[in-house]
């Protein structure tokens, strides 16, 4: 049930993307995600897909590990596509049959919305696949360090996020084990209506919460036994330093964002447009 969740999972391999500084990857991921919302034409989506494929090849990630993130939101993508396709009434009508009306603008919006969601989730999943939770915590702590001036507990926040990222895959794995154990006892999670399925999840949620609190208690005792504290006097075993690879990555993503901005505001006619009348003829 939760096998397609890739958020929080790290794929250990030595690649140029894995060796990048966590702070740089965090900033570039945010910049990449924001730039996706500026894409207006199919040219921009094709360019974004090409950039993602290039990064996956450089990171030497298995394509199935990346596609799992898309499979995890497939239901949301389908619902979004249906809503946009059948509820947008603007533009030229391509198909009209009773209450079903498909317009040219609706097809355009549906295609672009699906592409935007897929590229958004895929790009964000690359961050967790190429960065360990500890590196992410250090990167967040470093980026949020100016907030110390207004007495924000940056180290505590970074540690909480690090622990949360570390235990996300563990909780999903434990959920799958509990579901398998309940199915072995005759429980059914795929039959009945919505309320019946929700009620069937109670035997899963209760032991999951109990195990989560037990893990949290054990972790607190372990940290206390090692005299952990989140004071400013703590030091790091590895100091994060910027390299030439980080500069190349910044220039690469910076160039991509520049092209997206120029294409949207200054060269809108460059974009490749697909005529949805093709879909009307097929239907």
Percentage above 70 pLDDT, the chain: 85
pTM: 0.73
- What is the secondary structure of 65-85 as a DSSP string? HHHHHHHHTHHHHHHHHHHHH
The phi, psi pair for 240, rounded to 5°, reads -80, 130
Please check the confidence at residue 256 and state whether its pLDDT lies above 90: yes
- The per-residue pLDDT for 81 is 84
Please check the confidence at residue 253 and state whether its pLDDT lies above 80: yes
Predicted confidence (pLDDT) per residue in 164-223, tens digit: 777 777 787 788 888 888 888 777 766 766 677 777 777 788 888 888 888 888 888 888
Average pLDDT, the chain: 80
Where are the domains positioned within the chain? 1-149+239-283, 154-229
pLDDT band at 282 (very low <50, low <70, confident <90, very high): very low
CB atoms within 10 A of CB 209: 10
Contact 44, 261 (CB under 8 A): no
């Amino acid at each position: 049930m939760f096998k397609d969740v890739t958020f929080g999972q790290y794929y250990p391999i030595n690649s140029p993307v894995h060796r990048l500084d966590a702070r740089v990857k965090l900033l570039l991921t945010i910049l990449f995600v924001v730039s996706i919302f500026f894409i207006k034409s199919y040219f921009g989506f094709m360019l974004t897909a090409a950039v993602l494929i290039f990064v996956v090849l450089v990171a030497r990630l298995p394509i199935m590990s990346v596609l799992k993130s898309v499979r995890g939101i497939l239901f949301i993508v389908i619902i979004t596509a249906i809503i946009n396709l059948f509820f947008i009434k603007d533009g030229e009508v391509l198909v009209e049959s009773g209450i079903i009306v498909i317009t040219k603008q609706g097809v355009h919006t549906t295609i672009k919305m699906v592409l935007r969601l897929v590229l958004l989730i895929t790009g964000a999943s690359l961050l967790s696949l190429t960065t360990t939770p500890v590196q992410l915590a250090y990167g967040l702590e470093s980026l949020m360090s100016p907030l110390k001036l207004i007495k924000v507990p940056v180290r505590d926040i970074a540690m909480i996020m690090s622990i949360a990222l570390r235990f996300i895959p563990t909780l999903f794995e434990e959920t799958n084990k509990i579901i398998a154990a309940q199915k072995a006892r005759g429980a059914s999670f795929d039959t009945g209506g919505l309320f019946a399925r929700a009620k069937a999840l109670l035997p899963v949620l209760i032991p999951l919460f109990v195990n989560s609190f037990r893990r949290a208690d054990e972790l607190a005792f372990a940290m206390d036994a090692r005299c952990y504290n989140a004071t400013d006097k703590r030091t790091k075993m590895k100091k994060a330093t910027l390299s030439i690879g980080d500069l190349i990555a910044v220039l690469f993503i910076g160039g991509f964002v520049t092209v997206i901005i120029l294409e949207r505001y200054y060269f809108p006619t460059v974009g490749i447009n697909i005529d949805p009348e093709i879909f009307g003829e097929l239907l």
